[in-house]
Amino acid sequence: MSLLEENFRKRGYAFFEVDSTEEAVDFLLDKLKGKSVAFGGSVTLEQLGIYERLQTEASCIWHWKTPGCFTEAASAQVYLTSANAVTRDGEILNMDGSGNRVASTLFGHEEVLFVIGQNKLTDGLSAAVDRVRNVAAPRNARRLGRNTPCVLDGICHDCLSPECICSALCILRRKPSSCAATVLLVRQDLGY
Ligand code: SF4
């Protein structure tokens, strides 16, 4: 067992690692077959094309495809998402504007499944927070066309702008006790 796997397992997660996006899709198709699956907003999941691939295998709901479907998504068996940063010690970080994503990683689903590209791994919590605020959030703000200062220079200015996408930073020290949770690490760069 690798040190990374050991660190996630001691925090309560099932942990799997694959080398390619193709292997990640195969893993997800097998694991999610026959389930109801809600998707969190995630460029990683978009890049994998897993929503489209799962259509005939599972019941899928994603607010990126069906705007406003949050109530239906909240009752899905599985919540599929990524993370903005993950420490090699096993902590998982997500920043959220509306709150649906971090809420769903904490409570309400039978299982949460995190798909993580290798570019999200950091050494320590401080580096992880820095990644969230100065890499992931500015890029997401730019993707969404927000009028925030980070869009101009790629650096967080700790704004309280009306268009700020950073309302809540969730740091999962360990798996919440109310659900099962799996980390799938993909040895490729995915998302922001
Ligand atoms: S807090 Fe504001 S400036 Fe900082 S990353 Fe979020 S949206 Fe950008």
Task: List residues near ligand 1 (CB under 6 A).
Answer: 133, 137-138, 141, 148-150, 156-159, 161, 164-166
CA of 82 to the centre of ligand 1 (A): 19
From 130, 139, 157, the mutation candidate for ligand 1 (largest count of ligand atoms within 8 A of CB) is 157
- Residue ID of nearest Cα to ligand 1 atom 2: 159
Residue 91 located in a structural domain? yes
* Residue corresponding to tokens 């460029």: 43
- Cα angle 51-53-55, degrees, rounded to a multiple of 5: 70
pTM of the model: 0.96
* Residue corresponding to tokens 């099962």: 180
Structure tokens given for 130:
């820095």
Structure tokens given for 3:
């040190």
The total number of residues written for the chain in this structure: 192
- What is the CATH classification number for the domain harbouring 61? 3.40.50.10420
Q: Which atom of ligand 1 is nearest to the CA of 151?
A: 8
Residue 192 located in a structural domain? no
Number of H helices, E strands in the chain: 9, 10
| CB hemisphere CA count around 134 (13 angstroms) | 7
For residue range 58-108, what is the model confidence (pLDDT) as tens digits? 999 999 999 989 999 999 999 999 999 999 999 999 999 999 999 999 999
pLDDT above 70 coverage of the chain, percent: 100
Q: Which domain holds residue 62?
A: 3-186
